[in-house]
Structure 1
Amino acid sequence: MNNSAIITSTAAEAAVKCRKKLHRYNQYQSLIPGLPDNIAQICLSLVQEPLTLYSVCQSWRRLVYSPLFPLFYPAYISERPSTLVKNSVEFANFDPISAKWQLLPPPPLDPPLRLLLRHLPIQSVSISGNLIILIATTNHMLRALFRPLVFNPLTHKWTYGPPLATPRRWCVAGASQGVVYVASGIGSHYNLEVARTVEKWDLKSYNSYNQPQHTQCNCTSEVKNNSNHHHQQQRNNPTCGVKNKGWKWEKLSGLKDGKFSREAIEAIGWREKLCMVNVKGDAAKEGIIYDIESDTWQEMPEGMLVGWRGPTAAMEEEIIYTVDESKGALRKYDQENDSWIEILENEMLKGEQHMAAAGGKVCVVNGGGDGLVVVNVVAEPPSLVVVETPVGFQVLDVHILPRMNVD
């Protein structure tokens, strides 16, 4: 009986050792038998569809997600449940290789972000590989963010940006060349000075991997004078009382009036400029352009303004794309002729509300917020595919960012 137990135990140990050896073999097997890995990497990187490699074996799957493989760009969305029972906001990313959605870690906020009404939107930007939440709302109509929230896909972590002098809603939000811009908007009440304010935050002035330096509390006087708000700020932000060295908002040349505080507006970074219009859709609107280098404002060219009839985004800050939401036409701006060139027209592009562009793809949220339309604008002819969003959720915004690291 004892001998039988010993034999069984020995066999089990041998099986475990065999599995460990097989695991090590699978983990460290060469990419292509007979070729050095550096040569195999070059060969595999020439495959135009990474999904093909993902489906073959584990070692190729690891290569696709490694820094050695050419970039592909997942879509990141903010979303809320489509039912009215729950109105919390979550964040997710879509991996085009595995064709799967993955929830991001929740932002470090208590209470969580809410979307109470369609007219109290979340405003976010993507910059330097980060997702930045600038404007949002919690329950009880409180302003949620006295300082921005920053999500880094490489670390899977949220951090805090510098506090705004005046937290606000219905403002202009944009980014260009590593700098975030906020303009106009309404604070706790309408104020013309705030409605004309323009501020920037240069992410390059601080390494987000460094630890913040301890100094005096950096909350605004408006927050400090309201003990309830200050207590709420300390709950929302564990770094309240901590100032990020080098991260700050700087004031720029102001707007001539407060006409850009009517709704949430996107400032599109394009060729060292920021382009924006004050009203969405086909309604009569005004358009202005901010010259980043000279810190000056100018009127938007007539042709650009006339064709700006829906969500707009810039590819690598070089080519501006827009969707005519009433016709479902995707167009790009021709600066030389001050006109818009049509790329394609499709029923699925009608009523689009949000848009992002990167890596040769234009990604648009459909009118109902229950799907993404992805257009390959570098293909000939341009191609279009639809990506279904998580069941039971409505998409609020979309960004294209670097892929998240996988374990």
Structure 2
Amino acid sequence: MAAVGDEKEQEELIPGLPYEIAELCLLHVPYPYQALSRSVSSTWNRAITHPSFIFSKKTLSRPHLFVLAFHSQTGKIQWQALDPSSGRWFVLPQMPLQENSCPTEFACAALPHQGKLFVMAGGGGGSDTLVYRAATNQWALAAPMPGGRKRGFFAAEGVEGKIVAVGRSGTDIYDPESDTWREGKKQGGELKRYEVVAAGGKVYVSEGWWWPFMYRPRGWVYETEKDTWREMGVGMRDGWSGVSVAVGGRVFVIAEYGDAPVRVYDEEQDTWRYVKGGSFPRDVIKRPFLATGLDNRIYVASYNLNVAIGKMKSDRIQGKGDFEVSVTWEVVEAPSAFREFSPCTCQVLYA
């Protein structure tokens, strides 16, 4: 990465090193310490915040798992991030929200390749929209979510560079580039609760099964380009039982019973198939657990913030035009400092 401007050529980032070599050293400062290094000097700050530096840094970013969790004894809520490659955790700055905010009033979504995390506060916690940028390790206020305190229960997902929030008040789409919300078409009926995943430019919304299982769950599918809703297929909504996650354009569910089998949805057949491969690590991953996906991996955060990472592999079955999915799991156990923490939501960002 070449130095920019005459001023940079006269300044040393690291004494004794050529400017280009010093820049490479700064580029390899890992998250979240690069944001701290801006305070070393005005020279470092100018270098790190320069657009060409930020662009180059994106090519070196790695997936990190961000988990919002609460302590079962104290009620404390906090965000923390895991670097899966090293197993190291980092605690994020506190969100600038009103006191006594409840995590059940939050809807969270991410734009992983932009390194941005979004938190929308509904219910009695206000109408704030917060954005966290991994590049700066800071929270900032964004345009407030429409409806604010009247939204009630809702959920959100990142879809093709935008945030889609779905709830009893309707559908709202946030554009981070213009920092604006717009109203989308409302779904055909309200749900008791909202479980949301996004895959292939579509948002799948289900209320899932709930005790005492007297009623079949309802579900809807939102096509973002057309701004249209349609009823979810019978096979999809009836088989949607467990923790949902989207990976590689497909929707998966991890059962919360038995050995926690993993299934993948076949949209053409409107049915669920069992995923082959290794068994889910139930001995370490305890309920409650949540999941998120990026590229070809599933990230599962559980009680005590132990994490399981599943690498998905999809193969076409010769002669049948069909597919088969398998998974292999690895476990990252959390330090004892995170005992008694339960996950509320989890997202993956490049940082």
TM-score (norm 1): 0.61
User: For the structure 1 residues 391 and 199, does the alpha-carbon distance in structure 2 shift closer, same or farther, using more than 3 Å as the test?
Assistant: closer
Q: CA deviation at 1:281?
A: 5.7
Within the candidate set 206, 219, 227, 1:277 is matched to 206
Aligned match of 1:384: 329
Which structure shows the higher strand fraction? 2
Contact 2:98 2:125 in 1 (8 A): no
Whole-Å Cα distance in 2 between the matches of residues 278 and 131 of structure 1? 24
Whole-Å Cα distance in 1 between the matches of residues 20 and 265 of structure 2? 49
Aligned match of 2:152: 169
Whole-Å Cα distance in 2 between the matches of residues 399 and 203 of structure 1? 17
Alignment of 1:249 onto 2:178: no
Please identify the structure whose Cα radius of gyration is greater: 1
User: For the structure 1 residues 68 and 108, does the alpha-carbon distance in structure 2 shift closer, same or farther, using more than 3 Å as the test?
Assistant: closer
Whole-Å Cα distance in 2 between the matches of residues 145 and 134 of structure 1? 9
- Counterparts of 1:102-121 in structure 2, within 5 Å, are 102-111=90-99, 113-115=101-103, 120-121=104-105
Within the candidate set 109, 134, 154, 2:120 is matched to 134
Contact 2:288 2:343 in 1 (8 A): no
Within the candidate set 75, 80, 83, 2:65 is matched to 75
Aligned match of 1:374: 309
User: For the structure 1 residues 370 and 136, does the alpha-carbon distance in structure 2 shift closer, same or farther, using more than 3 Å as the test?
Assistant: farther
Within the candidate set 84, 92, 106, 1:122 is matched to 106
Q: Which runs of 5+ in 2 are unaligned?
A: 1-13, 25-55, 315-324
Within the candidate set 157, 160, 178, 2:138 is matched to 157
Q: CA deviation at 1:376?
A: 1.4
Q: CA deviation at 1:165?
A: 2.9
Count of aligned residue pairs for this structure pair: 287
Whole-Å Cα distance in 2 between the matches of residues 170 and 295 of structure 1? 21
| RMSD of aligned residue pairs (Cα, Å) | 3.5
Q: Which runs of 5+ in 1 are unaligned?
A: 1-22, 31-36, 38-65, 138-142, 186-193, 207-246
Aligned match of 2:253: 322
Aligned match of 1:296: 228
Q: CA deviation at 1:68?
A: 7.4
Whole-Å Cα distance in 2 between the matches of residues 363 and 135 of structure 1? 24
Aligned match of 1:243: none
| Counterpart code for 1:333 | Y
| Counterpart code for 2:228 | T
TM-score (norm 2): 0.70
Alignment of 1:313 onto 2:245: yes
Whole-Å Cα distance in 2 between the matches of residues 350 and 25 of structure 1? 52
The percent identity for this pair of structures is 19
Contact 1:324 1:350 in 2 (8 A): no
Alignment of 1:182 onto 2:149: no
Whole-Å Cα distance in 2 between the matches of residues 354 and 171 of structure 1? 17
Aligned match of 2:280: 346
Q: CA deviation at 1:325?
A: 1.8
Q: CA deviation at 1:326?
A: 2.1
Q: CA deviation at 1:101?
A: 0.6
User: For the structure 1 residues 136 and 286, does the alpha-carbon distance in structure 2 shift closer, same or farther, using more than 3 Å as the test?
Assistant: same
Within the candidate set 380, 395, 400, 2:348 is matched to 400
Deviation digits for residues 193-215 of structure 1, max 9, x if unmatched? x3xx22211223x2xxxxxxxxx
Whole-Å Cα distance in 2 between the matches of residues 365 and 397 of structure 1? 9
Secondary structure of the structure 2 residue equivalent to 1:303? helix
| Counterpart code for 1:201 | Y
Aligned match of 1:147: 128
